[in-house]
Amino acid sequence: MDERLSNGHAESVGAIAAVARAGPRAVTKALRASRGLEVPARGFSVERKVFPAGVTESAGSPLHVVSLHAGPPVRASCVRGGRSYVALIKRGDMEIVPKGEGGRWVDEAPAEALIMRIDPGFLNKVAAGMGLDPKTLDVLPRVQARDAQLEHLGWALEAALAEGAAEAMFVQGLGVAFAARLIKEHAAVRPARLQRALTRRQTAEVCDHIDANLGHRLTLAHLARVVSVSPSHFKSLFKAAVGVPAHRYVMRRRVARAVELIKAGAAPLGEIAAATGFAHQSHLARAMRAVVGRTPGELKRECR
């Protein structure tokens, strides 16, 4: 569900408040009906949208997109970067989609989201003001992330949006603060030789390894060896690159695989639990309820 990306380049940054769910006609309609709020720098926008249940696909946007879930919990699945995720998205959950990254989202119910779009040039100016080289800035993808400061800024922007006539300087300040927080906590900035996060190649390698070995024990030390770093270093590098600790990411991937197998109906639940790395069926049930809000039995009954 979380981020909604426009399906093409806008004629100017002034059009970035538009949201497109599907096709050129939807783009045109969204541009006309947009309730977006932009800062004077014309590089940052925010709008609140309610999306009907269903499928959203995007080949990628020229803008960085941050989506903040603003309504009741919604069960959703998405495919980004070649990987699938399933989750119960709750108010305050965020997704961050760097420019150019596409994906496919499926919402089981109508979903409300506050969507912030940041032009790369605007982000680069904020980075330069922080004493960073914009050329080293790499916004990191996030799925169901939590960031209290970004969330508070998002709600403040929503309040300004609801007023309809917010002071330009107020919105400008929130936009700059939002971009600065995004850079500080959700971007890989590589000053000198300091590595703050796994590179995209390292992230792909370790995530591919996790997906290929979900039925096995995956320790921190084992995963660290995949990318040739120490376990203590890997712990912080992985979280910085992916947005969640390694053990939580592994759990999400196990649950996602289990959901696929349950929907396929090809094996008993006990075998599915073992194939996805859970100690027993009850362990799988607890994990699924925590991640997607339903048990294997409930999901199996729904698929009949």
3-state secondary structure 174-187: HHHHHHHHHHHHHE
Contact 288, 299 (CB under 8 A): yes
The pLDDT of residue 38 is 63
pLDDT band at 21 (very low <50, low <70, confident <90, very high): very low
The burial class, CB within 10 Å (0-12 / 13-18 / 19+), for 269 is buried
Per-residue pLDDT of 126-159, as tens digits, reads 998 888 888 888 899 998 899 999 999 999 988 8
Number of neighbouring beta carbons within 10 Å of residue 148? 8
In this model, does residue 204 exceed pLDDT 80?
A: yes
Contact 186, 243 (CB under 8 A): yes
- Tell me the β-bridge partners of 89: 74
Q: Beta strand 94-97 with 64-69: parallel, antiparallel or unpaired?
A: antiparallel
DSSP state of 34: -
CATH code of the region 13-189? 2.60.120.10
| Most confident region among 16-25, 94-103, 156-165 by mean pLDDT | 94-103
Domain with CATH 1.10.10.60 in the chain: 195-304
CA angle, residues 255, 285, 261, in degrees to nearest 5: 45
What is the DSSP track for 249-300?
HHHHHHHHHHHHHHHHT-S-HHHHHHHTT-SSHHHHHHHHHHHHSS-HHHHH
Average pLDDT for 252-279: 91
The pLDDT of residue 195 is 67
Of the two residues 32 and 96, the one the predictor is more confident about is 96
In single-letter form, the type of residue at position 109 comes to A
The pLDDT of residue 163 is 79
Global pTM value:
0.62
CA angle, residues 15, 16, 18, in degrees to nearest 5: 80
pLDDT band at 203 (very low <50, low <70, confident <90, very high): very high
The pLDDT of residue 210 is 96
Domain with CATH 2.60.120.10 in the chain: 13-189
Long-range contacts of 20-25 (CB under 8 A, 24+ apart): 21/51, 21/56, 22/56, 22/57
CATH superfamily of 195-304: Homeodomain-like (1.10.10.60)
Per-residue pLDDT of 28-68, as tens digits, reads 223 223 356 665 557 888 888 888 899 988 888 899 999 99
pLDDT band at 20 (very low <50, low <70, confident <90, very high): very low
3-state class (DSSP) for residue 248: helix
Average pLDDT for 263-268: 86
> How many residues make up the chain in this entry?
304
Average pLDDT for 96-119: 92
Mean pLDDT of the residues in the chain: 82
